[in-house]
Structure 1
């Protein structure tokens, strides 16, 4: 089978190991020293409703977002959850503020400009209010790596890159991930009760399956 990626890499004498190393090393992430307070504040906002918590819209044209909003209100007892206006505006703001890099054309006193980087969620689960803006789940990835990170990408190198990429950041942010996993395990009975034991709730099987995935622990 011809693999367009392999043909390109062979043509320019680039190894798979070099691609993987480049993708990980050139990803811009939030250091733990700055992620700690941001994560603590986010947890308090989700649980107590002290301030707005943003999530990504659900379904085609985000028409199913209300299904998740109802779930959040039931789980946490407040309505301080909001759909991100662009589905990436809030994560981008956090990355800009905590890394000092901005996808703008000119440098400023506060920010250094970057170009051809995209905002990416390392572990996904963007309908989970703990993870959409978690400082340890969002990074700037060079756009040239999109062939190895996109959902439509396939092949051995794609699988190898994604596996090592996830493992690298899992190990770096492990203390936060383990705390998140503990929260999810405690929430699991309440999520399942809402989906399968709530009288009068009419939702699709697809929504139930997606919700269980969104509120699942991170395993690497």
Structure 2
């Protein structure tokens, strides 16, 4: 009963796991002057992730790969209020019942604006959002003159085959969780701290239980009595 109580206590530290996850790891760039780019960034009306708003649940349109779009449809987001040189990762999580392939890339503001294919893709996505009258979301940020930020491009392609012609012509949207996760000490993702704690406690508990079993059944005195 005592061992059962320990096992049940350890399970309290377990966290839910998503079926499928794709991620990109990056270091935050130096801060840039917001007045030079701020108004333009706001007019894009992109969903933003930041330390204060690190998770968004979205329904993402997808398409099958084609010559024009070998990685499916593209969507754009802003990563704001980053700490320069801090290591982060962005994860996209989705259910296994919605087979999809994702690619994630981060770009500095200057790189996007200086690269015609990227800025064209960004402009097209922004215009599509505004024409669709979707709910425009923006993350909170400090409002200071300088800010470390990045663009995030997410490419999504449907990855299944069906005899249903309708599904093959118009794959359904994919429900995703998009998360911004800072690294503790630039080494360990903050969101995995409960999982890491669980593993450590499980190792300590296993070591203690093995010691009890050894003393109970395998010590020389016990072997001599047997």
The TM-score by the shorter chain falls in which range? under 0.3
Structure with more of its chain in strand, by fraction? 2
> TM-score w.r.t. structure 1 length?
0.22
With normalisation by structure 2, the TM-score equals 0.22
